Structure 1
C-alpha cells in the first residue's frame, strides 16, 4: 500500500528548538495528562504487591498475608487481559478515534483504582476480588496501548516534531519508572496501599481531563460495516507488507523472551548472591532508568537518516547487563552496563515508534500498533515463568550469558538485513 506522507528532511536542530514540540497546544495538554497518569500507574504495582503479601484487604488486619501463589495470580490477571484485548483495541481505536478510546480507558482505570482503594481501606478485598479488579484494569490498558501509538501524529501540526514528541513521551515513562516506585514505597509505608491506589485514581482523572480538552483533526475512520476479522486482516496485511516492521517486532519479542525476562527474574537472585541484595539491585534498576532519561535527552531534536540502523546498534547495549552479571562483575560494572542499556532503550523506543508513525497510514495505525505490541510482548510472560526453572536446570550465569550472546547475535543479523538497515527517514523504499 502506498503511503501519502510529507517527506521531512532528516536534520539536527539547534538546542533551543528541541523543546519546540511543547509549543504545540494539543501535545502540551496530552503530555501533562499522560505524564501525571504515568506516575500514578508506576506507583500502583508496588501497592498491589504489598496489599496481596500483607493481606491488607482480607479483613484480617494484615495477619497471615498472601502467598507467592496469590501474588502470581494477581499479577497474571493484569497481564493476560492486556494480551487478549490488544488486537480488538487496535480496531476500536481506528474505528472510534484514539482520543475517545484513551479517554474511556482512563475513566475505566480510574474508577477501578478508586474502587480498589475503597475496598482495601474497608478491609473487604480478598484475593479473588483483587484478581477481578486488576483484570478490568488490564482490559483498560490493552485498549489504551494501540490508541496511544496511533494518536501521537495527530498531536503535532509540524510533522518534523513527531520524533521529538515520542522522545518526550519516552522521557516521561523513564522518569516515572524511577519516581513512581520510590514514591509508592514511601506512601505505602506511611499510609498503606489504599492511599497509593487512590492517588493513582486521581492521576487517571487528570489524564482523562487532558484528553477531553484535545482538539484533534477529524480522521476517516475504518469502515464500521466491515467485520472485526476483516479489519484485523487489513491491519495484518499492512503490518506484514513492511519487512522492517515485522522483523524488528520479532526481534523485540525474542529479546523479551530470551534476554529481558531472564534478567528480571535471575538478576535479583544474582544480586542477592553477589551484589548486596535489594539495595544493589535497586541501584542497578535505578541507573537503568537514569540511562533511559539520558538517552531521551540525547534524542531530542535528532532524527538520523537511517533510524532503524541506529536503533539496531543501540539495542546491542541490552546485552551488557546480563553479560556483566554472568561474568560475576562487581556492582559498579553492572550499574554501568545498565546505564548503557537504559540509553539504548530510549533510543530504540523513540526511533521505532517514530518510524512506524511516519510510514504507516493513519487509518491503519491503531491496528498495526496492536500487532506490533502483541508481537513484542506476548512471549514475555512465558519468559518470566520459565526463567527460574531453566536457571535451576542450566545455571543462572549460563542462562544470563546466553541472553547476552543472543542479543549481540540477533542485533548483528537484524542490522545486516537491508530492509532494516536501509529504511530511511526522509525517502527510500516504502517497505
Structure 2
C-alpha cells in the first residue's frame, strides 16, 4: 500500500505557548496603554493646564523608567521573567487606577498627576526588559523575523483600536474612564502572564552579585559600536518624538483640529502603519538589517512636519501612517540584530541599557517642550523636532558598523519541507 504523504504543517507551528500568551497579553495591555497618554494630556488641557503641565506630567512618568531600567534588566536575567512581568503589571494597574480615581473625583493637582504617573512609569521599567527576554526565549532563532513581526502586529494592532477608542471615549465620557480602562487592561494582562510556563533564571547559578551582573551587561552593550551609536541617536530622537506625541500633538489638535477625537484618529493611523508594515516585515528579510532599519528612522519626523505646517487631518493621518511604517521597519530589524548578536544570558540587561540610553533624554525633552514652545511658538518647536530627527537619521549612517551589519544565514526551517528556494512562511 502506498504511504500517505505527511499532513501539511500547522500554521504558526513554530509559535510556542509562551509566545502566544505573551503576544495576547501584549494586545490586551496595549489597548489601554494607547489611549492613556491621550486621556492624560486632555485631562490636563481641558482642566485649564498648559503644554508645560502636560510635559511635566509626561516627564514624571518617564523619569523612574529611566532610573530603574537597568535594575529591571538585572532582575529579569536573574528571576523567572514571567514573575517579574506579572508583578510589574499589577504595580502599574494600582497606580493607573489611582490616577483614574483622582481625575474622576475632581480637579487633580499637578503634583498628584506627576506622582501617580511616576508609579506607572516605575512598573514599566521592570516589565520591559523581562518582556524582551521572554520573546527571545519563546522562539527559535530561525523564526525570529516572523515572530518579531507577528508580535509587533499584535501590539501595534492594539494601538489602532486603543488610540481611536481612547480619543473617542475621552471626548465622549471623559479622561478618567479611559485611565480606568487602562488599569483594568493591566490587570487582565497580568492574569494572562500568570499562565506563562515557568522559565529558569537566565543568569548562571554561581552568579557574582547584582553589581557583577550589571558590569557584564554594560560590557556586552559598550563593546558593540553599532549598538551604542544607534542608542545615542535614539536618546535625542526619542526626546523629540516624545515631545511631539505627548505634548505638541495634543496641543495642536486642541488648537487647530477637533481635539481629542481627531488626535485619536491620527494615532490610529499611526497604528495602521505599524500593522501594515508588520505583515511586510514577516516576509521581507533584508541582508543589511541596520542599514534598512535606519531608512525607516527617516520617517519618524514626518508627523512633526505635518503639524508644523498646520496640515489638515487627512494629511496628518497620512504622516502618522508613514511614521508607523518607519517604526516597524526599524523595530523588527533592530530586534533581529539584538537576538542575533547578544547572548541570551545577558539579553535583558543589554536591552535595559538600550532602553536606558534611548529614554535618557526623554524626561528632559517632555519637561522642556512647554518652555520651548513658549519661546519658539508651537510651529517653531515642531520644525525643530522635524529637522533634528532628519539630521540624526542621516548622521548615524556615517558609522560603518551600522551600514555593514548583516543578517546571518538562517537555519533551515524544521516545520517546512526542504526547498532550495523556500517561500517565506505565512504568519496568519
TM-score by length of 2: 0.80
What SS class does the counterpart of residue 424 from structure 1 fall into? coil
Q: Could you say if the C-alpha distance between residues 140 and 321 of structure 1 is closer, same or farther in structure 2, counting changes exceeding 3 Å?
A: closer
For the 8 Å contact 1:290–1:339, the answer to whether it is kept is: yes
How does 1:411-430 map onto structure 2 within 5 Å?
A: 411-426=393-408
1:151 maps onto 2:134 in alignment = yes
Q: Could you say if the C-alpha distance between residues 159 and 17 of structure 1 is closer, same or farther in structure 2, counting changes exceeding 3 Å?
A: farther
Gaps of 5+ in 2: 1-7, 411-428
Moved more, 201-210 or 396-405: 396-405
For the 8 Å contact 1:288–1:339, the answer to whether it is kept is: yes
CA distance in 2 between counterparts of 1:366 and 1:404 reads 32
> Which among 139, 161, 173 is matched to residue 122 of structure 2?
139
How does 1:259-298 map onto structure 2 within 5 Å?
A: 261-262=243-244, 265-267=247-249, 281-298=263-280
How does 1:328-343 map onto structure 2 within 5 Å?
A: 331-343=313-325
Q: Could you say if the C-alpha distance between residues 295 and 21 of structure 1 is closer, same or farther in structure 2, counting changes exceeding 3 Å?
A: farther
1:226 matched to which residue of 2? 208
Shift of residue 170, structure 1, vs aligned partner: 2.0
Moved more, 87-96 or 247-256: 247-256
1:320 maps onto 2:302 in alignment = yes
- Please give the root-mean-square deviation of Cα atoms over the aligned residues, in Å: 3.6
* Matched length: 402
1:264-318 CA-to-partner distances (Å, cap 9, x unmatched) read: 5445555667667666655443322221221212212332211111101111122
Gaps of 5+ in 1: 1-15, 55-64
What SS class does the counterpart of residue 20 from structure 1 fall into? coil
For the 8 Å contact 2:54–2:247, the answer to whether it is kept is: no
How does 1:153-172 map onto structure 2 within 5 Å?
A: 153-156=136-139, 158-172=140-154
Moved more, 27-36 or 179-188: 179-188
For the 8 Å contact 2:56–2:366, the answer to whether it is kept is: no
For the 8 Å contact 1:53–1:71, the answer to whether it is kept is: yes
CA distance in 2 between counterparts of 1:424 and 1:234 reads 25
2:369 matched to which residue of 1? 387
CA distance in 2 between counterparts of 1:405 and 1:337 reads 15
For the 8 Å contact 1:291–1:339, the answer to whether it is kept is: yes
Q: Could you say if the C-alpha distance between residues 43 and 356 of structure 1 is closer, same or farther in structure 2, counting changes exceeding 3 Å?
A: same
For the 8 Å contact 1:17–1:301, the answer to whether it is kept is: no
How does 1:244-255 map onto structure 2 within 5 Å?
A: 244-255=226-237
Moved more, 311-320 or 234-243: 311-320
How does 1:115-134 map onto structure 2 within 5 Å?
A: 130-134=113-117
For the 8 Å contact 2:58–2:366, the answer to whether it is kept is: no
1:370 maps onto 2:357 in alignment = no
2:158 matched to which residue of 1? 176
Moved more, 80-89 or 169-178: 169-178
Q: Could you say if the C-alpha distance between residues 111 and 412 of structure 1 is closer, same or farther in structure 2, counting changes exceeding 3 Å?
A: closer
> Which among 330, 353, 360 is matched to residue 348 of structure 1?
330
Moved more, 169-178 or 23-32: 169-178
> Which among 45, 69, 73 is matched to residue 90 of structure 1?
73
1:305 matched to which residue of 2? 287
For the 8 Å contact 1:292–1:342, the answer to whether it is kept is: yes
Shift of residue 191, structure 1, vs aligned partner: 6.0
1:107 matched to which residue of 2? 90
CA distance in 1 between counterparts of 2:13 and 2:186 reads 23
Q: Could you say if the C-alpha distance between residues 300 and 17 of structure 1 is closer, same or farther in structure 2, counting changes exceeding 3 Å?
A: farther
Q: Could you say if the C-alpha distance between residues 199 and 93 of structure 1 is closer, same or farther in structure 2, counting changes exceeding 3 Å?
A: same
Q: Could you say if the C-alpha distance between residues 401 and 172 of structure 1 is closer, same or farther in structure 2, counting changes exceeding 3 Å?
A: same
CA distance in 1 between counterparts of 2:108 and 2:375 reads 38
Moved more, 16-25 or 381-390: 16-25
Shift of residue 147, structure 1, vs aligned partner: 1.1
Shift of residue 383, structure 1, vs aligned partner: 1.9
TM-score by length of 1: 0.79
CA distance in 2 between counterparts of 1:130 and 1:174 reads 27
